[in-house]
């Protein structure tokens, strides 16, 4: 009997020479939302394309037949063939130009295609230059593509070229158009009298706003920050409780719905932070001046005032329009130095500000402890800071761990975001929530199996009870929290947090009330960064509508679903661009240090090699399998480990490993490490 043909649609993702399709509708009977696409079945699909696929017969690849039964079952996955590209994600790509006497071609960056693209016409380029290619015929597994060069960017390593490469690769926006800049200048002229006026004039011009200029309000931001969209204040009550004020730049006052600035901000969706450069969502006149909460300047804000008991229990909150005058601009480094020193003067911090810092730190610790008690999952990944010189070349790369000052501000922003969401929710209006769905049961089971590679001490669950593993979201969240705490401070911490993070779905924007799994919040939104995130601006406008009693024309739930998908995609694109920008700088630095020894830890194990991240140079590279020459290793796809033939030779995430920098390739975006084996361990 002939097998019925089964078709599905989804988004294509490249994975080496093969691919994967993330389904956007019905899923196969086995319930998987992704299909593996063998290398020979990718057609001419490019990453991001929407494709139609046909499910292939359930036949095992030949290499699977040589594995033990348990490993074979774990590696088996539904496979499909791309039969049609429904919608192209893009037609222009960045790559490196090459030529010989007979032809010219471009190797597209990031191993997007299996074959290079032949150049049939377009601008002239020199050997090794980065170019933008417009594809006329997309490459397939058996045929080269064809295209024309539409822009020559220069050579990587030349000043500013890496930034332009990232901008073109991710279609990042350029300069603001004339109409946007004109509106920004008009907003500045309208606000100038406020900034220059005396108290009486300010009161007249800012009628309807609460005057908080007499309060002790400060900002705490990164050392190199240019826009300050949040400020904080804190007072103690007679009963020992706290009154926290979170004051957010009132961007909605300057950016009216439907204006040129608004339309441009929505198209951008978010600011993009590249090493040594920012591509802002709003023009500089707004993000660095009018809406930026600069010290000593009167600024328009929306304030979330939250009352807490001495034990950190929220007693009530108020949201209102205000204006403030920040007393002091502190960096995280300065605030941390003060808190670490136990209170003496640091960088001319006044006794008044010092007392405020200590008070805020105490409340933040109380709030953080309460969140963790209620099941919040706290991952401790350090941010990676790229230090560049005046010429744009990378000077150093260093980790930025979560310090007390950073945790303090993060805790207060979480509280303000939560109260803003509750405020709008109480008025029964649809709004753009920040949701983080619970991991699927299949993901949790796979994670539990993966953690088995770390040993019994890091099992996700205790020994399996007769009734089975707990399935409730709170139990799963508690188990994850307990696991992370057990790993804290051990050699396995970073590796365990990595596999936990990869088991989680991504947080997205949606009007659907699904809560935030990792934060353990039932109701949550983004409100505290309207200078750099468009979703936050939509929440400010909803709050304006509620305060003004004009909620008849707020966006519908259907409109918010569309906006949520749009903003989630913009956020993903910005994150990918930022990661790629950092990777280029890392490659630039390591290309000058070929042969240098790096001490690191294994962050992941795959069939083709081992990923290692440096401890003091926080850069991740890969050791190809053929360089693991002290043994013959077999890959376990379920546990994600490599097991050697020699007894005890196992490579797993979290293992300490010393490597040397073997190669740093701009075109493939690959950093290759070579292992440094202990003396006498090679075969």
DSSP run (H or E) holding 386: strand 383-388
SS3 sequence, 546-566? HHHCCCCCCCCHHHHHHHHHH
Q: Which CATH number fits domain 92-155: 3.90.180.10, 3.20.20.140, 2.130.10.10, 2.40.50.640?
A: 2.40.50.640
Tally of CB atoms within 10 A around 199: 10
Second CATH level (architecture) for the domain 7-87: Beta Barrel (2.40)
pLDDT of residue 481: 87
Structural tokens at position 680: 């006498």
DSSP run (H or E) holding 118: strand 117-122
Model pTM?
0.88
Query: Residues 116-157: pLDDT tens digits?
Result: 899 988 888 999 999 999 999 999 888 889 999 999 999 887
pLDDT class for 478, splitting at 50, 70, 90?
A: confident
Tally of CB atoms within 10 A around 204: 10
pLDDT tops 70 at residue 198: no
pLDDT tops 90 at residue 201: no
Top-level CATH class of 591-675? mainly beta
Phi and psi at 281, nearest 5°, equal: -80, -30
Tally of CB atoms within 10 A around 355: 14
pLDDT of residue 70: 45
CA distance 453 to 462: 15
Closest Cα partner for 154 from 145, 167, 173?
A: 167
pLDDT of residue 462: 63
Strands (E), 283-350: 298-308, 314-325, 328-331
pLDDT tops 90 at residue 379: no
Q: What is the chain's mean pLDDT, rounded? A: 88
pLDDT tops 80 at residue 234: yes
pLDDT of residue 679: 66
Strands 609-614 and 620-624, bridge-based pairing? antiparallel
Structural tokens at position 241: 């409780």
Alpha carbon distances (Å) from 621 to 190, 599, 634, 644: 52, 12, 21, 21
CA distance 154 to 312: 56
Closest Cα partner for 597 from 610, 583, 615?
A: 615
591-675 has the same fold as 92-155: yes
SS3 at position 133: strand
Count of residues making up the chain: 683
pLDDT of residue 477: 87
Query: Per-domain residue ranges for the chain?
Result: 7-87, 92-155, 178-433+521-582, 438-504, 591-675
pLDDT of residue 503: 87
Mean pLDDT, range 353-365, rounded to an integer: 96
Mean pLDDT, range 382-399, rounded to an integer: 84
Query: Residues 620-674: pLDDT tens digits?
Result: 999 999 999 999 999 988 788 999 998 888 998 889 999 999 999 887 788 999 9
Most confident region among 262-266, 290-294, 613-617 by mean pLDDT:
262-266
């Amino acid at each position: 009997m002939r097998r019925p043909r089964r078709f599905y649609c989804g988004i294509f993702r490249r994975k080496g020479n093969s691919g994967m399709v993330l389904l956007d509708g019905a899923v196969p009977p086995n319930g998987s939302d992704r299909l593996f696409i063998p290398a020979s079945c990718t057609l001419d699909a490019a990453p991001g394309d929407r494709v139609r696929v046909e499910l292939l017969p359930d036949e095992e690849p030949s290499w699977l037949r040589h594995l033990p039964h348990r490993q074979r079952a774990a590696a088996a996955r539904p496979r499909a063939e791309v039969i049609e590209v429904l919608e192209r994600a893009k037609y222009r790509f960045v790559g490196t130009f090459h030529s010989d006497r007979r032809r010219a071609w471009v190797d597209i960056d990031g191993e997007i295609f299996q074959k290079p693209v032949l150049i049939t016409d377009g601008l002239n380029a020199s050997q090794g230059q980065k170019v933008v290619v417009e594809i006329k015929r997309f490459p397939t597994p058996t045929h080269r593509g064809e295209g024309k060069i539409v822009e020559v960017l220069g050579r990587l390593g030349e000043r500013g070229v890496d930034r332009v490469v990232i901008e073109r690769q991710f279609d990042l926006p350029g300069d603001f158009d004339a109409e946007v800049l004109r509106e920004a200048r008009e907003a500045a002229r309208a606000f100038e009298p406020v900034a220059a006026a005396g108290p009486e004039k300010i009161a007249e011009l800012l009628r309807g706003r609460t005057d908080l200029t007499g309060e002790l309000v400060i900002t705490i931001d990164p050392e190199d920050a240019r826009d300050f969209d949040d400020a904080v204040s804190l007072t103690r009550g007679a009963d020992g409780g706290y009154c926290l004020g979170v004051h957010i730049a009132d961007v909605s006052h300057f950016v009216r719905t439907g204006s040129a600035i608004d339309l441009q901000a929505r198209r951008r969706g978010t600011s993009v932070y590249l090493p040594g450069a920012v591509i802002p969502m709003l023009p500089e006149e707004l993000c660095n001046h009018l809406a930026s909460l600069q010290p000593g300047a009167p600024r328009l804000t929306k304030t979330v005032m939250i009352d807490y008991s001495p034990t950190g229990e929220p007693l009530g909150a108020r949201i209102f329009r205000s204006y403030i005058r920040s007393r002091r601009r502190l960096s995280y480094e300065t605030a941390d130095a003060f808190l670490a020193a136990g209170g003496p003067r640091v960088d001319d911090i006044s006794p008044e500000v010092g007392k405020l810092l200590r008070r805020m730190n105490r409340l933040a610790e109380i709030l953080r402890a309460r969140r963790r008690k209620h099941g919040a999952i706290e991952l401790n990944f350090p941010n990676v800071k790229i230090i560049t010189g005046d010429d744009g070349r990378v000077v150093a790369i260093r980790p930025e761990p979560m310090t007390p000052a950073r945790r303090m501000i993060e805790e207060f922003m979480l509280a303000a975001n939560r109260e803003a969401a509750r405020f709008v929710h109480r008025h029964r209006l649809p709004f753009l929530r920040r949701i983080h769905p619970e991991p699927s049961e299949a993901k949790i089971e796979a994670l539990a199996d993966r953690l088995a590679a770390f040993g019994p001490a890091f099992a996700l669950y205790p020994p399996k009870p007769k009734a089975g593993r707990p399935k409730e979201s709170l139990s799963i969240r508690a188990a994850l929290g307990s696991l992370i705490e057990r790993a804290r401070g051990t050699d396995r911490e970073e590796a365990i947090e990595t596999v936990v993070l990869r088991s989680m779905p991504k947080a997205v924007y949606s009007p659907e009330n699904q809560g935030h799994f990792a934060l353990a919040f039932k109701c949550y939104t983004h409100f505290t960064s309207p200078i750099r995130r468009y979703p936050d601006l939509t929440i400010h406008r909803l709050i304006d509508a509620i305060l003004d009693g004009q909620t008849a024309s707020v966006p519908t739930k259907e409109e918010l679903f569309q906006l949520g998908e749009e903003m989630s995609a913009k956020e993903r694109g910005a994150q990918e661009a930022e990661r790629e920008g950092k990777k280029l700088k890392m490659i630039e630095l390591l290309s000058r240090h070929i042969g240098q020894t790096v001490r690191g830890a294994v962050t992941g194990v795959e069939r083709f090699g081992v990923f290692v991240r440096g401890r003091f140079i926080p850069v991740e590279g890969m050791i190809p399998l053929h360089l693991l020459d002290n043994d013959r290793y077999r890959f376990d796809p379920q546990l994600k480990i490599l097991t050697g033939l020699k007894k005890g030779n196992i490579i797993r995430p979290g293992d300490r490993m010393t490597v040397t920098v073997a190669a740093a390739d701009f075109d493939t975006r690959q950093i290759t490490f070579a292992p440094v084996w202990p003396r006498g361990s090679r075969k």
